[in-house]
């Protein structure tokens, strides 16, 4: 099943990450939390535009054993689908990490070097 349409007039949900950086090392755990103005209830989760098996859980943990990127979206009850957040998983020895959130022109860009 693909990503469903959102309720008309609803406010969007958004995904927060802990830690909030990308790329992520292989096997490193990242916690995704769905935030939104909706009412309490089960959260819908999508990975690469497909319904995720952990639907209903909030927060959820992500860890990958292979390199590559995946995008994540969520929808809290009564809210619109969140914008996608992309996580890249790396097996490099050292990575230059950036915040895994949308930045606007003029925003400061914090960088983090990790090995």
Beta strands in the chain (DSSP E): 14-18, 21-22, 24-25, 30-35, 44-47, 50-51, 60-62, 68-75, 85-90, 95-99, 112-114
Encode pLDDT of 2-19 as tens digits. 555 555 567 889 999 999
List, in sequence order, every residue forming a beta bridge with 78; answer none if it has no partner.
Answer: none
Q: Output the pLDDT for position 2.
A: 57
Residue 78 has pLDDT above 70, yes or no: yes
pLDDT digits 0-9 by tens, 19-69? 998 899 999 999 999 988 867 778 899 999 999 866 677 889 999 999 999
Tokens found for residue 90:
């790396």
Confidence band for 97, pLDDT divided at 50, 70 and 90: confident
In whole angstroms, give the CA distance from residue 17 to residue 55. 17
pLDDT at 66: 95
Domains of the chain: 14-93 (2.60.40.10)
């Amino acid at each position: 099943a693909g990503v469903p349409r959102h309720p008309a007039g609803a406010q969007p949900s958004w995904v927060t990450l802990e830690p909030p950086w990308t790329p992520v090392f292989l096997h490193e755990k990242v916690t995704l939390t769905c935030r939104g103005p909706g009412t309490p209830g089960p959260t819908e989760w999508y990975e690469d535009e497909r319904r995720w098996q952990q639907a209903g859980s909030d927060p959820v943990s992500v860890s990958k054993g292979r390199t590559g990127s995946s995008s994540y979206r969520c929808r809290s009850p009564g809210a619109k689908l969140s914008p996608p957040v992309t996580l890249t998983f790396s097996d490099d020895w050292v990575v230059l990490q950036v915040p895994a959130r949308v930045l606007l022109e003029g925003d400061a860009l914090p960088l983090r070097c990790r090995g």
